[in-house]
């Protein structure tokens, strides 16, 4: 049973431990990020983050209940307590982080808003989009960014907004609009679902910063810390060369940072209210950040997104996690 104390103090960590699973708000279907596979299992980067959290807190990746949410529904679901965490390609912005009563625990994907056009349009750059009709999704940063961008670049445009991703894609495929605009990651995902993926292309420009990351409620520091440091543990594991494959051998590593990460020395887990092998379970069962990226959206996936900004800071990107010590 859920203890009254856990409920009253917004102690989500205690609540998750007592109910034995975590409720994870995900996308309704964005291949590579969160989407049900042919066996109806949820897969993707954002799904894997919830699986890693379940492994860190409960030792088992399967202890997650997924709640698919549209862009519009997502914040209310978190505010009302319907979900414990929102892991759904959500951009960290000031308003969301303050007046919505939410806290972003970090960034799991550095993105920016992009444009997709039909190749038959013969457009090579976003600079040629003056007067175009744009399809996009309601309740997103996409709408606001486009307005800013048009104002700044003095171009006129028409927009059609839809509630769901499928409607946006259909609007684009049936020619209701010239351009589909959203996070660039979302465009790569959309392309795989077009009836002819080769008919469209993503333009080179990115017109905004879209740092995407997991979100929790404000005033719940213990859970916030677990979410934030689980993300950091996955990124640090990549930097330290710890993978799901070599993690057993890494337990006897002489590198003190690896020993702390895997809980063979120190009590880094206890400081989070968890077992000292929290990160070990997460990495062993889900993989480090690089493994999660390549499997879901990178080289080993149909999306084939390059690491780019999401490469580690010491390999040309900006993915940087504070140290576990």
Spatial separation of the C-alpha atoms in residues 262 and 233, rounded to whole Å: 9
Indicate the SS3 state at residue 146. Answer: helix
Q: How far is the CB of 12 from ligand GSH (least distance, A)?
A: 22
Given a contact cutoff of 8 angstroms between Cβ atoms, the answer to whether 186 and 30 are in contact is yes
Given a contact cutoff of 8 angstroms between Cβ atoms, the answer to whether 70 and 26 are in contact is no
Q: How far is the CB of 83 from ligand GSH (least distance, A)?
A: 15
DSSP state of 122: -
**Residue with Cβ nearer ligand GSH (31 or 287):** 31
**Residue with Cβ nearer ligand GSH (210 or 291):** 210
Residues in contact with 154: Cβ distance below 8 Å, sequence separation at least 6, in sequence order: none
**Residue with Cβ nearer ligand GSH (86 or 282):** 86
Residues in contact with 57: Cβ distance below 8 Å, sequence separation at least 6, in sequence order: 13, 16, 17, 22, 226, 274, 278
Joined together, the tokens standing for residue 242 give 């710890």
Print burial letters for 44-64: b (CB count within 10 Å at least 16), e (below 16).
bbbbbbbbbbbbbbbbebebb
Q: How far is the CB of 111 from ligand GSH (least distance, A)?
A: 7
**Residue with Cβ nearer ligand GSH (92 or 229):** 92
Q: How far is the CB of 190 from ligand GSH (least distance, A)?
A: 7
Spatial separation of the C-alpha atoms in residues 245 and 287, rounded to whole Å: 8
Beta-bridge partners for 111: 210
Interacting residues toward ligand GSH by CB under 6 A: 27-30, 70-71, 89-91, 137, 140-142, 164-165, 182-183, 186, 210, 212
Inter-helix orientation angle 221-240/12-19, to 10°: 80
**Residue with Cβ nearer ligand GSH (77 or 222):** 77
Q: How far is the CB of 303 from ligand GSH (least distance, A)?
A: 12
Q: How far is the CB of 203 from ligand GSH (least distance, A)?
A: 16
**Residue with Cβ nearer ligand GSH (180 or 279):** 180
Q: Which residue is nearest to ligand GSH (CB)?
A: 186
**Residue with Cβ nearer ligand GSH (37 or 267):** 37
Q: How far is the CB of 277 from ligand GSH (least distance, A)?
A: 33
């Amino acid at each position: 049973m859920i203890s009254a104390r856990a409920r009253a103090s917004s102690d989500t960590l205690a609540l998750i431990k007592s109910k034995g699973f975590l409720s994870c708000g995900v996308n309704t279907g964005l291949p590579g990020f969160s989407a049900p596979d042919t066996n109806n299992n949820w897969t993707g980067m954002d799904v894997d983050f919830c699986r890693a959290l379940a492994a860190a807190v409960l030792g088992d990746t399967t202890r997650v209940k997924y709640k698919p949410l549209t862009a519009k529904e997502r914040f209310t679901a978190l505010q009302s307590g319907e979900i414990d965490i929102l892991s759904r390609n959500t951009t960290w912005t000031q308003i969301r982080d303050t007046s919505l009563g939410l806290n972003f625990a970090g960034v799991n994907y550095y993105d920016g808003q992009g444009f997709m056009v039909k190749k038959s349009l013969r457009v090579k750059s976003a600079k040629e989009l003056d007067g175009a009709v744009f399809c996009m999704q309601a309740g997103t940063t996409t709408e606001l960014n486009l307005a800013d961008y048009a104002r700044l670049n003095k171009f006129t445009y028409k927009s059609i907004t839809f509630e769901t991703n499928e409607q946006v894609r259909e609007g684009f495929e049936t020619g209701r609009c010239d351009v589909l605009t959203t996070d660039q990651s979302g465009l790569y995902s959309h392309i795989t679902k077009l009836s002819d993926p080769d008919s469209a292309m993503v333009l080179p420009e990115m017109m905004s910063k879209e740092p995407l990351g997991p979100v929790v409620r404000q005033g719940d520091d213990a859970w916030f810390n677990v979410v934030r440091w689980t993300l950091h543990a996955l990124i640090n594991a990549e930097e330290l060369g710890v993978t799901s494959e070599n993690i057993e051998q890494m337990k006897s590593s002489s590198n003190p940072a690896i020993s702390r990460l895997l809980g063979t020395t120190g009590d880094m887990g206890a400081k989070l209210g968890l077992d000292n092998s929290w990160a070990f379970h997460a990495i062993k069962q889900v993989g480090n950040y690089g493994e999660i990226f390549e499997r879901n959206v990178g080289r080993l996936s149909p999306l084939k997104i390059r690491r780019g900004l999401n490469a580690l800071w010491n390999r040309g990107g900006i993915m940087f996690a504070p140290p576990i010590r």
